[in-house]
Amino acid sequence: MSRNISVFSLVLLTVCASTVLASAQATSSTTEIRSNSTTPGFVYVTSVNNNNTEEIYAYSESGDGALTPVAGSPFAANGYYLATNSKWLVSTDTVNIYSFSVAESGAITQVSSINAQQYNEYDTGGPVSLFFDRTGATLYDEDIYGNQGANNTYQFFDLNQSTGALSFLGATTSYSAAWITPLSFIANNEYAYGASPLYGGQYIYGFSRASNGTLTDLNINPSYPKASDGAYAPYLAAADTANHLAITLTPDNDMTQTGPTQIGVYTAGSSGNLTTNSTSSNMPTVAVVNVNDLKMSASGKVLAVAGSAGLQLFHFNGANPVTRFTGLLTTDAVNQVAWDNMNHLYAVASAAGKLYVFMVTTTSVKQAPGSPYAITSPGYVAVFPTN
């Protein structure tokens, strides 16, 4: 696996606003599909075992959030970053992308692979942060060093829904060093957004999606709330079930954090432009310190924020300000989170070697039976829905 990509992204984020100290890959998206299924599915977690070999732990989930290991788990598998749609599991090792069929039992079998790095201009770059559009039709990756030296692009791939075969469709013709996060699609599946604070700057970026899956840079320049000292540095975007986005904003003055991270709200218009009514006074602060991941529940009503100090939930209220829901649910550093369609939240604490599972409604949160689960060096989690 090409570990130099992880180092590159870590360096990028370390020199950004001080709230962002984790690798961009820690935000790898699981899926943008919003299924209405209430049937339990499967949960997959990548791991690097004591022999430095990659494998994937597989669990079947139950209605109360308890997990049962799938027979044969963990599975020997290439790839560290994961994503799912409603039929296939995919992973990447930063060079190749692999697709896996999912049996009725939850067991996985590799069926296809493609060298995504060959479409990159540099052999030190490659695919990370796998994510699908909301329908699961097109697979995307953040392509490190995709164009013109240190600039990044987004690649898009077709995943044959009958065979699982992967084929390259193209990459964005625009490029930027600031594109270091996965994208989140709003409900119409036409626009997708990301955000980063590269070198202390302000970058909220958006793309339009064509019917064939192609992404085109919207070249937007949204406004930002006024900070009391310096400016707000954005990081990560999470869309609800309409046209609203949560984006974490950290007050920053010349790459020095001047206050706690807050959560802003943006609304996408018919042409993809973003507007906001967020102000320094109506945005709640987060308790997770350095934000690592930001994910919206399938209902669009609960926002999970993961970071170096733990995991916290907020009520998401459309275009209105986000409101605090919980304090820290764990004080373990949480690298990545994923939701299923049954109000379950999964949280990976890599350093602690744990996978947390929470049952979440709009009024209550409780840890699922058996949680947390011990996993050797867990990396990324993806939830496979069943219909």
Q: How far lies 204's CA from each of 139, 201, 235, 281, 377, in Å?
A: 22, 10, 8, 21, 32
Q: How many domains does the chain have?
A: 1
Q: Determine the pLDDT at residue 246.
A: 98
Distance (Å, whole) CA 344 – CA 348:
13
Give the CATH number for residue 179.
2.130.10.10
Instruction: Report the predicted TM-score, pTM, of the whole model to 2 decimal places.
Output: 0.92
Q: Per residue of the chain (387 residues), what is the pLDDT tens digit? A: 443 444 334 333 433 433 333 344 444 444 444 444 556 799 999 998 888 889 999 999 999 999 999 999 999 988 889 999 989 999 999 999 999 999 999 999 999 999 999 999 887 899 999 999 999 999 999 999 998 778 999 999 999 999 999 999 999 999 999 999 999 999 999 999 999 999 888 999 999 999 999 999 999 999 999 998 999 999 999 999 999 999 999 999 988 999 999 999 999 999 999 999 999 999 999 999 999 999 999 999 999 999 999 999 999 999 999 999 999 999 999 999 999 999 999 999 999 999 999 999 999 999 999 999 999 999 999 999 865
Distance between first and last Cα of the chain:
34
Q: Which two tokens stand for residue 252?
A: 């920053």
Distance (Å, whole) CA 234 – CA 180:
12
Q: Which two tokens stand for residue 170?
A: 């193209």
Q: Determine the pLDDT at residue 39.
A: 67
* Contact between 341 and 35 (Cβ < 8 Å): yes
- Amino acid identity, position 276: T
CB-neighbour burial class of residue 254 (10 A; exposed 0-12, middle 13-18, buried 19+)? exposed
Does residue 246 sit in helix, strand or coil?
Answer: strand
CB-neighbour burial class of residue 267 (10 A; exposed 0-12, middle 13-18, buried 19+)? middle
Q: Which two tokens stand for residue 88?
A: 């296939």
**Can you list the alpha helix ranges (DSSP code H) found in the chain?**
4-14
CB-neighbour burial class of residue 167 (10 A; exposed 0-12, middle 13-18, buried 19+)? exposed
Domain that holds residue 83: 4-384
Task: Name the CA dihedral angle for 311, 20, 141, 144, rounded to a multiple of 10 degrees.
Answer: -150
In the beta sheet, which residues pair with residue 244? 267
* Contact between 300 and 360 (Cβ < 8 Å): no
Question: From edge to edge, which strands make up the β-sheet containing 203-209?
Answer: 184-185, 191-196, 203-209, 215-217
